[in-house]
Amino acid sequence: MSKKAICGVCPRHCEIEEGETGFCRARENRGGKVICGNYGKLTSLALDPIEKKPLRRYCPGYMILSVGSYGCNLACPFCQNSEISQAGANDIRTEYVSPEELVRYADEQRENGNLGIAFTYNEPLIGYEYVMDTAKLAHEHDMKNVLVTNGYICRGPLEELMPYIDAMNIDLKGADDEYYRWLGGDIDTVMETIEYAAEHCHVEVTTLIVPGKNDKDADITRIAEWLSGINDEIPLHISKFFPRFKMPDAEPTPTETVYHLADLAGEYLKYVYTGNC
C-alpha cells in the first residue's frame, strides 16, 4: 500500500500519494517523504537591475542574478509568469544547476555589477531547500540573497531561511480574505510573513491592481494603513495589470487608477512606487 505524505511547507498541507506531487507541482512524495522535486531545476536565469524585482530602496544601482524554477502554491488567474508557475516537471524544459554552480556563476558576474542572487519568477519558497542551500553558499562568498515571493509559507521553513535572506519583495495581492480565496490562499498567512520578515530583513511589498477585483480606494487604503502600522518606511509598489493567463480578455488597469491609488497609499507610507505604467 502506498503511503501518503503530508507537506509542511505551506498552509495547504497537501496529502501526497507516493510518486505524485502536491498542488504546487514541485513538491513530491518519494518513499513516503516529501522532497523538493524541482531542486536545482532552473527554467530562467538573467542578470537584472535590482530595481526590477522590484526593490527600489535596497542597494539601488546594482544588478542581481535572478533565477527561477517551476511551480507555485497559489492559482492566480492573472499570473504574469503562468508558463512556469503553473507548470510541472514534464511541462517545461529545465536545466539542473547545483547550488555550487549557481554561486560560482553569480560570483563571476560581480564584474558586471552583480551583488548576489534573487530567487524569483516562479514561487521560490516551494523549493526552499534549494534556496537555503544556495543562499548559505552565497553568504559564504559575501553575496546577498533576495526573495521575490507570494509569502504563502508556514513559519517553520520561513524561520529556517531567514538567517540567509537579506531582502524580500512580498506580494500582498489584496486587502481581504475573500480576495485571497479567489487565488487559493489566505491573507493571514501572507500578513504574518510580511510582519515576520520585516523584523529580520529589508522588505518591500507589491500589490497588482486588477480592475473590478482590488481597485477600490478602500482596498489600497487598508493595505497601506496596515503596512504603516508595521513601519511606514516599508516601500509599497502598486502595479498595473495587463491581460494574462486565464484573464486574456480583461482590460488593463487604467494608468490613472494606479496613480490615484498610489497617492492614497502615500498618505500612510513614505515610499510608494508605481509599476508597469
190-212 burial string, b = 16+ CB within 10 Å, else e?
Answer: bbbbbebbbeebbbbbbbbbbee
Given a contact cutoff of 8 angstroms between Cβ atoms, the answer to whether 157 and 9 are in contact is: yes
Total number of domains constituting the chain = 1
- % pLDDT > 90, the chain: 98
- List 68's β-bridge partners, or say none: 44
Question: Rounded distance, CA 30 to CA 197, Å?
Answer: 31
Tell me the CA distances in angstroms from 155 to 31, 204, 206, one per residue in order.
25, 19, 21
Let me know: does 235 contact 66? Beta carbons within 8 Å: no
Sign of the Cα torsion 85, 89, 91, 97 reads positive
Is 111 a residue whose pLDDT tops 80?
yes
Categorize the per-residue pLDDT at 1 as very low, low, confident or very high, splitting at 50, 70 and 90. Answer: low
Other CB atoms closer than 10 Å to residue 219's CB: what's the count? 19
Report whether pLDDT(12) > 60. yes
> How confident is the model at residue 2, as a pLDDT?
63
Grid coordinates of 20: 505524485
**Which CATH number covers residue 124?**
3.20.20.70
Q: What is the pLDDT of residue 157?
A: 96
Give the integer Cα–Cα distance in Å for 207 and 115: 26
SS (H, E, C) 110-167: HHHCEEEEEECCCCHHHHHHHHHHHHHHHHHCCCEEEEEECCCCCHHHHHHHHHHCCE
Residue 93, pLDDT above cutoff 90: yes
Give residue 220's pLDDT band: very low, low, confident or very high (50, 70, 90).
very high
Mean pLDDT, the chain, whole residue set: 97
pTM of the model: 0.97
Distance separating the N- and C-terminal Cα atoms of the chain: 55
What mean pLDDT do residues 226-232 have?
98
Domain carrying residue 18: 5-275
